[in-house]
Amino acid sequence: MTPALLLSLLATVGIGMPATAGAAPPPDSVAPPEAFDLQGHRGARGLAPENTIPAFRRALALGVTTLEMDVVISADGAVVVSHEPWMHPDICTLPSGAPVPEGDARGHNLYQMPYVDIERYDCGRRRHPDFPRQAPQPAVKPRLHDVIRMAEAYVVEHDRPPTFYNIEIKSRPAWDGTFHPEPEAFAQRVLEVVRGRGVAARTTIQSFDERALRAARRLRGDADPAVGLALLATDGTAEALPDQLDALGFVPAVYSPAHTTVDAGLLRAAHDRGLRVVPWTVNERDTMRRLIRLGVDGLITDYPDTGMDVVETMSVGE
């Protein structure tokens, strides 16, 4: 089944359609995917090296709606796709060919390295120990604009619907100035890339860091909300949600809690506020089915092959 046909089926049967279809959109709302939003976590981390071109290409081949990824900033200001702002010792290899030493990982600080040095490290030849189905292959940490360029070319070449992008700003107050710039400068770099590549209207910026989301909202501007915003949360409950939104200072387009906390009460509380709910990181079939039946608007998974199979099966009446 093609991705376009699958999306059509989902829209017909209503899987994943927001419960607030008639409600007023939140202030930063942009046009979301038309039906269920299946997102490939770090591309397809369970199947290919995380946050690399091969992983994003695999996710696109499987038919995901959205490519989910993390970004950091290099010493020369490049927006680099990476979960940590350093070289992870479990998956990355020094230019010499030796593994990055466990105790020295943070010494390989991407914010202190120009991209020409970052791309000398391999982060794909060594299989992640937690993902036995992952296919090792040579891969570097790509720049965000390289990922977007590949994805945009892929969908044209394979006659696929336009892809969406969910980009996490990896920032923490304690890391300011050491592992990344201040939130304003960080968000500005990301916005420059997605606007420059012409994909702003299909991009969501997500973060656990409220400062990063507030900065992105200021820089994006309220008059022309061309980039959606998503609040990530580990404690995603109906009771916690009001305080989380108060702390953020506005209602974003998307709320992305850990999947283990999602229940009917949370979905009601979120949908009543105009939020789309897209939990992370959902890898088990039964959990996917439970969340879809509850009415989530999408999910983020390391295994988009499993996710596509579950969504397709449920779309025809499981």
* pLDDT above 70 as % of the chain: 87
Helices (H), the chain: 3-13, 53-62, 115-118, 144-157, 183-196, 210-220, 241-248, 264-272, 285-294, 304-315
Alpha-carbon gap, residue 215 to 182, rounded angstroms = 10
Say whether pLDDT at 19 is over 90: no
Say whether pLDDT at 25 is over 50: no
What is the dotted CATH code of the domain comprising 3-315? 3.20.20.190
pLDDT in tens, 240-266: 999 999 999 999 999 999 999 999 999
pLDDT in tens, 40-57: 999 999 999 999 999 999
Query: Residue 226: which pLDDT band, with cuts at 50, 70 and 90?
Result: confident
Q: Which residues pair with 93 in a beta bridge?
A: 99, 122
Give the pLDDT confidence score for residue 6 in this predicted structure: 52
Task: Identify the three-state secondary structure at position 95.
Answer: coil
* pLDDT above 90 as % of the chain: 86
Q: Apex CA 48: angle with CA 117 and CA 309, to 5°? A: 150
Give the pLDDT confidence score for residue 215 in this predicted structure: 97
Say whether pLDDT at 96 is over 60: yes
Say whether pLDDT at 81 is over 90: yes
The domain spans of the chain are 3-315
Mean pLDDT confidence for 126-141: 97
Name the pTM for this structure. 0.91
Under a CB-based contact definition with an 8 Å cutoff, are residues 10 and 16 in contact?
yes
pLDDT in tens, 189-224: 999 999 999 999 999 999 999 999 999 999 998 655
